[in-house]
Amino acid sequence: MLNPNVKLNKKMFNESIEQIAIRRGFGEGLVIAGDEDKNVVGLCADLNESTKMNLFAEKYPERFVQIGVAEQNLAAVASGMAAMGKVPFISSYAMFSPGRNWEQIRTTVAYNNQPVKIIGSHAGVSVGPDGGTHQAIEDIAIMRVIPNMIVLSPCDSIEAKKATIAAAKIDKPVYIRLMREKTPVITTEETPFEIGKAEIYFAPPMEPQVGIVATGALVHKAILVAQKFAEKGVSVKVLNISSIRPLDFEAIISLAKESGAIVSVEEHQVVGGLGSAIAEVLVQNHPVPMELIGVHDQFGQSGTPNELIEHYNMGVSHIEKAVERVMKRKN
Amino acid sequence: MPQLTDEKIIWMEQKASEIRQSVIEMLVEAGSGHTAGPLGMADIFTVLYFHILKHDPTNPMWEDRDRLILSNGHICPVLYATMAHSGYFKLDELKTLRKFGSRLQGHPHREFLPFVETSSGPLGLGLSQTIGMCLADKMDNGKYSGKQFYCLMSDGELQEGNIWEAMMLAAKEKLQNLTVIIDRNSIQIEGFTEDIMPLEPLKEKWESFNWDVRTIDGHNFQEIVSAVGEAQAVFTKPSIIIANTIPGKGVSFMERNYKWHGKPPTKEEGEKALKELKGN
């Protein structure tokens, strides 16, 4: 019961589903954006290869600036370039950008309303062995509170490519969060992507009893959970939110009305991120019981991505239990 | 840049005095704002807007204009006053400083007043942005676009780490059409810079970062013009002019007193100050 209208990868439930890093999608998307618009420029804080900006830097060296390990400078320099008509993409790890340079972004990019695109790679705990200092699990919270800022969280490498191309075209500040690890490619080139629009990815024919609202690489797990429930005769719908700001209020409220219960899923603190954004919408329009999957008030640590996802209660079994809990709360 | 004649100097001295008077009037009207910095920088602003800058107040978005970025945005009263006196908007508008709905926000906002190149206020951000503008210009027009980029900073602001990141980048990229002017008035909010967080040896610091450094009297028009001219003739490095200034210059009871950094004159103090300024 994958939604046929959004043309997802038919191998969704195969073990052999393609696995490509979300950050790679950005790298490819930036080259395409650069091909299409000569004003697209790239700036990086000494992390070309791991943020995949190296692809752009190699093709367009005259349009690339190496800033070195100086993320505050990274953001403000980009703002200056935008003031002269460029479309700057800045990349680093999310913990450093927007982590370290949040105020530079707020003042020189958002307050100035300059179309700088901030790429925060290595978000979530699935960064893995580097450990907690490198695992950004607060970035959605700190970026979605800034006026003028668009916040995108692609679910796979193909969506990341589309998000990058869309970001280049829109004359506004944009933040895109990327992941380090290879994760399932769940969409296809034909899957729609639009800033501000959320899409139903999984929809059984019966009225849903629970709606899962998910973002990023965990959307795949949400779909696996929905499939498990479908096999038991319980209808669970999955909504992919790749545009956290602006948020598709209609889609969220509609899902809450249909299902009467919501589970949010994100590789991020449960405070301040997607779950909070959903709760804000529903509490003001159509309150329903909610369960929030994410990190519960802890920092990350070293481990394999899978170990960490499980340890921080964001795995398939945890999402399943959340669905069961929220169903009970409906009465 | 045209020659600086004696007549021009006399004319600019009068203009600088008028700008100082506007600064006092607008601060009294606003009831809040910064006094010492704007008075100290009035001479530099005068010579920039009336002699050095390639700009056109009747065509403020002229593509080929020089860019002036005020990094220490709190001294915006002197920026606004100079812009008004040079024709960007009516002098009348100066009395709206800091008021609700005014284009003249307490710290410059690019979306409210489109003539400023960027918003500012939080210290340490201007140099990075100026460098970004230079880099974009270089990408489009090569090394010799004909535009000059000026970044005005305060000395206290140099305590912000972001600036040192920017200093390294400007030198790396050899941005020869970038000129920084530091308002070296030796004061900041809590006292004298050398007591709060010493900046000396300042000239040597910038030189060691591969900048071309000049030190001048920030109230001497000829020195300002000569220093800018010399800086423009250096093609291998970005330039910085450390301009020694007297905070509160022009008003005897304000000069050299750090307490005037962040407060406006009262109506009575304003009247006294205007008397002195008009007397010159």
- Amino acid A331: pLDDT: 74
Whether residues A89 and A231 share a domain: the answer is no
Q: What is the pLDDT of residue B145?
A: 83
Query: Nearest-CA distance from A179 to chain B in Å?
Result: 27
Q: Do B132 and A84 touch (CB under 8 A)?
A: yes
Let me know if B234 is exposed, middle or buried by CB neighbors in 10 A (0-12, 13-18, 19+): middle
Q: Chain B residues with CB inside 8 Å of A72's CB?
A: 128, 161-162, 165
Q: Is the pLDDT of residue B1 over 90?
A: no
- Report which secondary-structure segment, H or E, holds B171: helix B161-172
Note the pLDDT tens digit of each residue in A152-182: 999 999 999 999 999 999 999 999 999 999 9
Considering only CB atoms, B119 lies closest to which of A73, A75, A112, namely A112
pLDDT in the model for residue A111: 98
d(CA B19, CA A84): 30
Nearest CA in chain A to B160: A72
Quick check: is B1 in a domain? no
Q: What is the pLDDT of residues B95-143, one digit of tens each?
A: 999 999 999 999 999 999 999 999 999 999 999 999 999 999 999 998 7
Q: Do A203 and A158 belong together in one domain?
A: no
Last residue of a domain, one of A184, A208, A243: A184
Confidence band (pLDDT; 50, 70, 90) for A194? Answer: very high
- By residue count, chain A amounts to 331
Candidates A27, A51, A18, A19; CA nearest to A165 is A27
- Mean pLDDT value across chain A: 98
What ipTM describes this predicted complex?
A: 0.96
What is the overall mean pLDDT for chain B?
A: 96
Facing residue for A76 by CB, picked from B117, B161, B162:
B162
Contact assessment for residue A71 and residue A121, using Cβ atoms and an 8 Å cutoff = no
SS3 for chain A, per residue?
A: CECHHHCCCCCCCCCCCCEEEHHHHHHHHHHHHHHHCCCEEEEECCCHHHHCCHHHHHHCHHHEEECCCCHHHHHHHHHHHHHCCCEEEEEEECCCCCCCCHHHHHHHHHHCCCCCEEEEECECHHHCCCCHHHCECCHHHHHHCCCCCEEECCCCHHHHHHHHHHHHHCCCCEEEECCCCEEECCCCCCCCCCCCCCEEEECCCCCCCEEEEECCCHHHHHHHHHHHHHHCCCCEEEEECCEEECCCHHHHHHHHHHHCCEEEEEEEECCCCHHHHHHHHHHHHCCCCEEEEEECCCCCCCCCHHHHHHHCCCCHHHHHHHHHHHHHHCC
Domain assignment present for B242? yes
Gap from B269 CA to chain A (nearest CA, Å):
34
- Whether residue A64 is found in the same domain as residue A28: yes
pLDDT of B264: 97
Q: Which residues of B touch A (CB under 8 A)?
A: 109-111, 117-119, 121-122, 125, 128-137, 139-140, 161-162, 165-166, 168-169
Task: Say yes or no: A173 and A237 in one domain.
Answer: no
Contact A112 B118 (CB under 8 A): yes
Judging contacts by C-beta atoms under 8 Å, the chain A residues touching residue B133 are 80-81, 83-84
pLDDT at B2: 82
B72 CB neighbours in chain A (<8 A) are: none
Domain of A247, in residue numbers? 4-11+192-329
Round to whole Å and give the CA distance between B6 and B120.
35
Q: Give the gyration radius of chain A's Cα atoms.
A: 19
- The domain that contains B49 carries what CATH number? 3.40.50.970
Please report which helix (H) or strand (E) contains residue B217, including its range.
Answer: strand B212-217
Do A302 and A177 share a structural domain? Answer: no
pTM, full prediction = 0.97
Supply the range of the domain harboring residue B19.
6-279
* A162 and A269 part of one domain: no
Q: pLDDT tens digits for A87-118?
A: 999 999 999 999 999 999 999 999 999 999 99
Q: Residue A39's domain is classified under what CATH number?
A: 3.40.50.970
Clarify whether residues A179 and A39 are in a common domain.
yes
Do the chains contact at A108 and B118, CB–CB below 8 Å? yes
Q: Does one domain contain both A170 and A23?
A: yes
Number of folded domains in chain A?
2
Over range B211-236, report the average pLDDT.
97
Q: Are residues A176 and A279 in the same domain?
A: no
Last residue of a domain, one of A164, A184, A204: A184
- For A192, B132, B176, B207, the CA distances from B237, given in Å and listed in that order, are 50, 16, 5, 10
- Average pLDDT in the B162-166 region? 98
Q: Which among B161, B107, B170 has a CA at the least distance from the CA of B138?
A: B170
A63 and A147 together in one domain: yes
The pLDDT tens digits for A223-236 are 999 999 999 999 99
User: Has residue A328 got a pLDDT over 70?
Assistant: yes
Q: pLDDT (tens digit, 9 = 90+) per residue, B259-275?
A: 999 999 999 999 999 99
Where would I find the beta strands (DSSP E) of B97-175? 149-154
Domain shared by A111 and A223, yes or no: no
Which of A122, A151, A184 finishes a domain?
A184
**Overall number of domains in chain B:** 1
Six-digit token pair at B250?
Answer: 């022009």
Q: Do A76 and B119 touch (CB under 8 A)?
A: no
B119: in domain: yes
**pLDDT recorded at residue B280:** 54
What average pLDDT does this structure show over B177-194?
96
- Average pLDDT of A263-287? 98
Shortest CA distance from B113: residue in chain A: A112
Answer yes or no: is B84 within a domain.
yes
- Contact: B122, A63; criterion CB under 8 Å: no
CB contact under 8 Å between B128 and A72, yes or no, is: yes
